[in-house]
Chain A
Amino acid sequence: MDFNFDIIWGYLPLFLRGTLYTIGFSIASIVLGSILGLGIGFGRMLKNPLWRWPFDVYVNIFRGTPLYVQILIVHFGLVPLFYGSTNALISGVVALSLNSAAYAAEIFRAGIQSVDSGQREAALSLGMTRRQSMRFVVLPQAIKRMVPAFGNEFIVLVKDSSLLALVAAPEIMYWGNTMKGQYMRIWEPYLTAAVIYFILTYSLNKLLAYIERRM
């Protein structure tokens, strides 16, 4: 196997541009996914099974089907329905957000339920409303426990965003595929992509470790 660095240099500007897209997709999706996931997580904690049902279904579907298929459905089904035509940037953010919301919902639910019920009871017994006890007592403790799980989800999301190459979203893997197509070579594009993803996730790891220490 020979390794041709020249073609990597040629593609480097495209890879860098792709990196910005990957970062953009990941951040937008973890933010939107977390907001959506918080709502779904609370939905999953509803006492009435009838109200809880749609949230259970949501989580089960998005965790139980391949992201690959979800991206195609969002890109060719959902987005054209609302936007009129396909749009890889919208599909990318929507598909990743919907998917990560399912995981975020479980992280929220597990985090909140891991807080001892006595904490909530103590808050309520002091006259706090349910909302106040959630906001001032339960959530601050739960979030602290959620940070590692969220970090993990974020890292998975960064790597999962490579599947968006499927619908020609111009992120890292897309340019890897393009390079592969032009030169019909495997290792130069894939290893370059892998190194970039590694740098991204490694930095993210560092950032998360810092945040965890600070909390």
Chain B
Amino acid sequence: MEPIISVRHLRKSFGSHTVLGDVSIDINSREVVVVIGPSGSGKSTFLRCLNLLEQPQGGEIVIEGVNLMDKKTRINEVRTEVGMVFQQFNLFPHKKVIENIMLAPIQVRKWPEEQARHKALELLKKVGLAEKAEVYPASLSGGQAQRVAIARALAMEPKIMLFDEPTSALDPEMVGEVLAVMKDLAREGMTMVVVTHEMGFAREVGDRVLFMEQGAIVEEGPPEALFGNPQHVRTREFLSKVL
């Protein structure tokens, strides 16, 4: 089967500082890939390259057969198929919760308003926040905000979801509700790339875990193998600190 995401020799640096050395990986449809590693390892930058929020200096990223590095590629069209959830939620504070979700389907997908509203309410129900449709994001808790952000990304009906440390900004008691939504999503067969520090989630939900350090994938494998029997000394050191 053709991988849905194919990354080859990806390089990215900020000025003289190299963030990604030479990253290559294939990700299959319906696969949940969890990226772990110490801070500064380049895992977030790697994720942000997958929808070109960061412009790589070299290499190749192919998503569903479309080469992102090709100058002719219209990146905003690719992004409609690749949803993203941010550490800081990034909800639009000037729009009500439901308007946050409806905005992109109406403006980008050109859906009629009724259809967008219907979809938004359905998604809010799914993340357990139907009663918050008409409030502004400022009145939501962190966990609620992140669930709305997930619903917002899902409204575009993407084929791939990217999660950039989705629970890192949350109070501990709210982490569970967000992870629960993500688990549901994984169960439904969504292709997911998740950068996280939640090792429990990685172990439970991940099909594959990547350990990154200093801009490179040091080790990858199924969670039971990577957590249970890490091959690389760096992986072992990292896991001994976080587990």
Contact = CB atoms under 8 A, between A and B. Distances in A.
Q: Are chains A and B touching in the complex at the 8 Å CB cutoff?
A: yes
A160 B20 CA distance: 54
B104 A127 contact: yes
Interface residues of A, number: 18
A127 B90 contact: no
Contacts of B159: none
Contact of B53 (A124, A132, A144): A124
A92 B80 CA distance: 49
B79 A125 contact: yes
Interface in A84-134: 116, 118-119, 121-129, 132
A136 interface: yes
A137 interface: yes
Contact of B104 (A126, A140, A141): A126
B76 A129 contact: yes
Interface residues of B, number: 24
Nearest to B106: A136
Interface in B84-137: 84, 86, 88, 90-94, 103-104, 107-108
25 contacts: A121-B53, A121-B84, A121-B90, A123-B92, A125-B83, A125-B84, A125-B153, A126-B79, A126-B80, A126-B83, A126-B103, A126-B152, A126-B153, A126-B156, A127-B76, A127-B108, A127-B156, A128-B104, A128-B108, A129-B76, A132-B107, A136-B103, A136-B107, A137-B103, A141-B94
Interface of B: 51, 53, 76-77, 79-80, 82-84, 86, 88, 90-94, 103-104, 107-108, 149, 152-153, 156
